[in-house]
Structure 1
């Protein structure tokens, strides 16, 4: 094996990715070396490329303040092939040549959160594509076999998305529980996550889904995916339209955008006891009238990705045949810059996946 690899990397925030040569990491301890074959292109990759998050009120949180350094190969929706084991890894757990989805939200492995299996809540994460190189590189390591999940015969271009969009939507839906199949749910945003959520809700037996998006093309994609109704979130009275489409106040809402406008729309649309799950990171601030919030016994819950168990559960649901695949557009790995810019321009329906 060669000693070096190529990676499409952020060398300067906001500037085109550069193809750089970096060492192929040598797996140590229980680490496993993966040859990346597929990598989804996610909106979180865009935020990393831009270098900041909008906190509202003119304030920003910079990725460097999270401890991220450059150059860095982004990409966290990773599918690849096992190449080599570290000296303490058990080759019988996952053999060389096996293809697996990577869980990218790796925790420190030592804290209480990690011991409970909640790597996504660890305060010392080593996320692939942010704090260490991700799937825009040719090779990555994972710290342990437990972060590799078998998806059987699921198309690798679909399976790679389970590491972010798949596990995130399952985690978000579970936060809405208890939720009866007929109770209406509002989804804001019909991008890759929104379409994945429609598919997951259907797989779990939910039958009343209202999807809001500003794009007519994405609303059409949501209808194709099986949502019950669609609406333009820029409507004159979006709350009224959402409630009418649902047949009454919403039991819950999942906001895959999370701007000031969408967050306030979601909160106003849910009925008494309703829950709003905040997933997107477009950013900003929202206004919240506290008395109606209390009288309505409403909940606003943040959701950051999901756990390794969520990924295993998504893989199981997908292999059962119940989970419809989202629209996938495969893009050659050398067109990583074009893929990122298409996403930045809002031209993507479903998910772009880089093929190595």
Structure 2
């Protein structure tokens, strides 16, 4: 066996140079981010190194990130346990392409400056779930979800993510108001499709927050009728009517069950439970025989719903759990709906915050002030 000493020396020199350049990059490239400090503590705005795209990653300059209720479950340790200190959350992201790593294949032929969405779901693309169109249940994704686990999220000026999570955004769509497509709309769209929502079916949407309000817009675009919104905050119900709900019921002021059954004597074809802590009680009471209940509210692992089995069996109810969306299928379809004007993301966004007010945004989310709020980063 022989060794080429000169080539080994050259290899070492190149490696050292690359390491030196990377260290200089980290020193010279800093960005503003909202950093996790500990459970139930406010996020801290601080300067951190701008991520360096490696392998198959694309660096995204963030336009906006959504303020989602799932973030509260995450911050409180209710979804995956305590987050590591220094982690950056924010899983609802829109922005612009900034830089490509060396192994990016770029099937969409993206260029620097192109507007894009970032999916928090990062499928492997080749497992049996991905191959069968169920990439939201990809096992590999469970350990690397943007802004949730394994990959820093978009509450920052830049985010670097695997290219499979990057979806082109239509040129006509404003990235500052588009981040909800990457969670609120995506979640609602996949849920409605999972419940086989088609034109002429009736739907009751319980919870008129970000996901519920997106579902109202989508149900209207898909031709469902009637569309009944249920919430406990009157301002959200007024917004629901603006977004396409045919009826709006205040669960505090009215008997929701009675009101719904006045409108739909036999019950609803579909009941969509979007509440952060779903209990299924009203859903089971107002779904029609042979109808479907679809649930996307996570509620944390301690949240338990009780089901009256005789009612469940005798009515032949289909109960569906729906996680997120299929990024390479659902997100492009939603971009098309937004580009054609069938959904209007600007109507969903009721509040825009600067990064320094991000903790106020989450406090206002707890108070039910928003439909959907976004943080504007660049």
For 1:59-138, what aligned pairs fall within 5 Å after superposition? 62-64=80-82, 68-90=83-105, 93-125=109-141, 126-131=144-149, 132-138=151-157
Structure 2 residues not aligned, in runs of 5+:
1-24
* 8 Å contact from structure 1 (residues 29, 87) kept in 2: yes
* 8 Å contact from structure 2 (residues 278, 295) kept in 1: no
**Of 156, 180, 192, which residue of structure 2 is paired with 1:173?**
192
Alpha-carbon distance, 1:108 to partner: 3.8
1:289 and 2:308 are equivalent in the alignment: yes
Question: What are the superposed Cα offsets for residues 139-187 of structure 1, whole Å, 9 maximum, x if unpaired?
Answer: 111211562222221122331110001111110111121x453322100
Question: What are the superposed Cα offsets for residues 70-99 of structure 1, whole Å, 9 maximum, x if unpaired?
Answer: 321111111111111111214672111111
**Of 213, 216, 220, which residue of structure 2 is paired with 1:195?**
213
Task: State how far apart, in whole Å, the 2-side matches of 1:327 and 1:242 are.
Answer: 24
* 8 Å contact from structure 1 (residues 209, 246) kept in 2: no
Task: State how far apart, in whole Å, the 2-side matches of 1:100 and 1:173 are.
Answer: 24
Alpha-carbon distance, 1:344 to partner: 1.7
Instruction: Give 3-state SS (helix, strand or coil) of 1:5's partner.
Output: strand
Structure 1: which 4+ aligned runs deviate by more than 4 Å? none
Partner of 2:159: 140
* 8 Å contact from structure 1 (residues 104, 147) kept in 2: no
Task: State how far apart, in whole Å, the 1-side matches of 2:40 and 2:364 are.
Answer: 14
1:312 and 2:312 are equivalent in the alignment: no
1:340 and 2:375 are equivalent in the alignment: no
**Of 136, 143, 149, which residue of structure 1 is paired with 2:168?**
149
Structure 1 residues not aligned, in runs of 5+:
54-61
Task: State how far apart, in whole Å, the 2-side matches of 1:32 and 1:115 are.
Answer: 23
Residues 236/339 of structure 1: CA separation in 2 closer, same or farther (3 Å cut): closer
Alpha-carbon distance, 1:236 to partner: 6.3
Across the aligned residues of Structure 1 and Structure 2, the Cα RMSD in angstroms comes to 2.0
**Of 329, 348, 351, which residue of structure 1 is paired with 2:372?**
351
Partner of 1:31: 57
Alpha-carbon distance, 1:352 to partner: 0.8
**TM-score (norm: length of structure 1):** 0.90
How many equivalent pairs are there? 342
Task: State how far apart, in whole Å, the 2-side matches of 1:247 and 1:129 are.
Answer: 43
Instruction: Give 3-state SS (helix, strand or coil) of 2:330's partner.
Output: helix
Task: State how far apart, in whole Å, the 2-side matches of 1:238 and 1:202 are.
Answer: 21
**Of 199, 214, 219, which residue of structure 1 is paired with 2:237?**
219
* 8 Å contact from structure 2 (residues 229, 248) kept in 1: yes
Partner of 2:71: 45
Instruction: Give 3-state SS (helix, strand or coil) of 2:178's partner.
Output: helix
Alpha-carbon distance, 1:51 to partner: 1.8
Question: What are the superposed Cα offsets for residues 293-338 of structure 1, whole Å, 9 maximum, x if unpaired?
Answer: 1121101111111011111110011111111333322111221111
Task: State how far apart, in whole Å, the 2-side matches of 1:79 and 1:220 are.
Answer: 28
* 8 Å contact from structure 2 (residues 189, 218) kept in 1: yes
Alpha-carbon distance, 1:235 to partner: 5.5
* 8 Å contact from structure 1 (residues 9, 72) kept in 2: yes
Rg larger in structure: 2
Partner of 2:6: none
- Which range moved further: 273-282 or 139-148? 139-148
Instruction: Give 3-state SS (helix, strand or coil) of 2:272's partner.
Output: strand
For 1:236-255, what aligned pairs fall within 5 Å after superposition? 237-255=255-273
Task: State how far apart, in whole Å, the 1-side matches of 2:265 and 2:352 are.
Answer: 38
Partner of 2:10: none
Instruction: Give 3-state SS (helix, strand or coil) of 1:152's partner.
Output: coil
